Structure 1
Amino acid sequence: MNVTFEQQSVIVTGAAHGFGRAIALAFAQRGAVVWACDVQEERLHETAHLARQGATPLHTRAVDVTSRDAVQALVDGVQQHTGRVDVLVNNAGGVLGQVGRPIEAITPQDWHAIFQVNVDGAFYCAQAVAPIMKQQGRGRIINISSGAGLGISLTGIQAYASAKAAQIGLTRQLAHELGEWGITVNNVAPGFVRSNPTTEKQWESYGEDGQRRLLQNIALKRLGSPEDIAHAVLFFASDYAGWVTGQVLSVDGGK
């Protein structure tokens, strides 16, 4: 299957490392005009450096997706530059450094912070690109959730599991709302992947026994990579998924 995105305009949030970086690079390697966005500017420069090394340069923008105004400014800039937005990948999110604690220890600020980046951010980005995609009569929105949104969070973080479940609900709702304009909205739910400093700490915290148990619970008996997640995104963004919308694809090695 030869998947290309020649001259398509693609926005990827949370592109400073991990899944977002792999997704941004994958689109750039296939001819897309990529806008890689994140709040971590220094690590975003690393993403751009890797793209240049592969002779597939991309644009970078420092954007806080929890700010509706910042998101709208980003999308306005992309439209002015390319005249269109073909693909939006809502990857920004995570646990923001939080760890699992009893529910009675969770502050309102902790709870809302995770919802803001994982749910509000995806909503603001989709809201900003929707009018452009409607005018085009075509578009692809892909949200990156987590196995935690379909089951439970391995870290025990209540807000993360809840926010990812909410993001999946948003995916299904927008698929029905936007479908008549040729816009598909789908979701990739990754399993545990060692993709960034947070997941590295999580992996180390399990110890040898815990790591062995985690692998034994995976059908393929191995961890995946950020590229595995990127490949699922490429499918949803491609013409091969033209009649696929409102779906959640678990990319987790089999549970």
Structure 2
Amino acid sequence: MQFDFTGKSVIVTGAAQGIGRAIVAGMAAAGARVVALDRDATGLEQARSAGAIETIAVELGEQSTVQTAIARVAAAYGGVDILVTAAGGVRGQVAQQLEAVSEQSWRQLFEANVDAAFFCAQAVAPHMKAKGSGRIVTIASGAGLRPSLTGIQAYSAAKHALVGLTKQLALDLGPHGITVNSVAPGFVLSNPATQRQWESYGEAGQQKLIETIHMRRLGQAEDIANAVMFLCSSAAGWISGQVLSVDGGRA
């Protein structure tokens, strides 16, 4: 399927690396005007190289800064047609015993994975409502549908919350012509955090994981980007409130 987003104004968060950067590249190649947002100002240079026409370094877990950044984008590019919230992840955390998890660690992952998506959707909603159309896609995880391979309680809980938020936003925004869906990746080697996790399994653990995947391979960032672009396309105009697992099949 060939995607054409010519003339569309697109915001991608978490664009400095991995899945977010692949979405930037895919959207830009399909003709979109892509603005890349991330807290990592240095990494955003990679997003620019991938095709972003503008990059904005912003703390996505802060409501006021998100509102300001998105208002700036809407003013410069005639509104916002598509929002993809790829920011999130484990923020360097590792699995711990339940009793050892600090309040800060717990809240940090909700800020990264849930707060950021909510604040971004909240900020783009008026611009999409004004146009009577829009696409919002969140990046959840297999950890939002079942216990997480990371073993990090807050990560699994936050991704489950993101799935719930996606479904609620679909209900709220549907009457305005806005679809809201989520892509739930399986294990994708896309950034240093996932590389460290993969290496921590050791050879036996890696083989065991591969054997649970029907396709017998790990995912690539482009696999996720392709699914996102489908949900943002005209072909998905009557799909909303859905979670698309892109995980190679799971045994």
TM-score grouping bracket, smaller chain normalisation: over 0.9
Q: Which residue type is aligned with residue 66 of structure 2?
A: V
Structure 2: segments with no counterpart, 5+ residues? none
Name the CA distance, whole Å, in 1 between partners of 2:92 and 2:2.
Answer: 38
34, 47, 57: which is aligned to 1:62?
57
Say if 2:215 is the partner of 1:220.
yes
Structure 1: segments with no counterpart, 5+ residues? 52-56
78, 88, 92: which is aligned to 2:73?
78
Structure 1 match to 2:13: 13
1:1-150 matched pairs, under 5 angstroms: 1-51=1-51, 57-150=52-145
1:151-166 matched pairs, under 5 angstroms: 151-166=146-161
Name the CA distance, whole Å, in 2 between partners of 1:174 and 1:132.
Answer: 15
Residue 109 (structure 1) shift: 0.7
Task: Please tell me the root mean square deviation across aligned C-alpha atoms, in Å.
Answer: 0.8
Structure 2 match to 1:191: 186
Q: Give deviations 1:169-225, integer Å, cap 9, x for gaps.
A: 000011011101100000000000100000000111111111111100000001110
Normalised to the residue count of structure 1, the TM-score between the two structures is 0.97
Name the CA distance, whole Å, in 2 between partners of 1:221 and 1:95.
Answer: 25
1:231-242 matched pairs, under 5 angstroms: 231-242=226-237
Residue 49 (structure 1) shift: 2.2
Name the CA distance, whole Å, in 1 between partners of 2:77 and 2:3.
Answer: 21
Residue 2 (structure 1) shift: 2.0
Name the CA distance, whole Å, in 2 between partners of 1:49 and 1:187.
Answer: 26
Q: Which residue type is aligned with residue 206 of structure 2?
A: Q
Question: Hey, which bits of structure 1, 4+ residues long, moved more than 2 A?
Answer: none
Matched-pair identity in %: 55
Partner secondary structure for residue 184 of structure 2 = strand
Residue 74 (structure 1) shift: 1.0
Normalised to the residue count of structure 2, the TM-score between the two structures is 0.98
Name the CA distance, whole Å, in 2 between partners of 1:49 and 1:249.
Answer: 28
Residue 41 (structure 1) shift: 1.0
Name the CA distance, whole Å, in 1 between partners of 2:61 and 2:128.
Answer: 22
Aligned residue pairs, count:
250
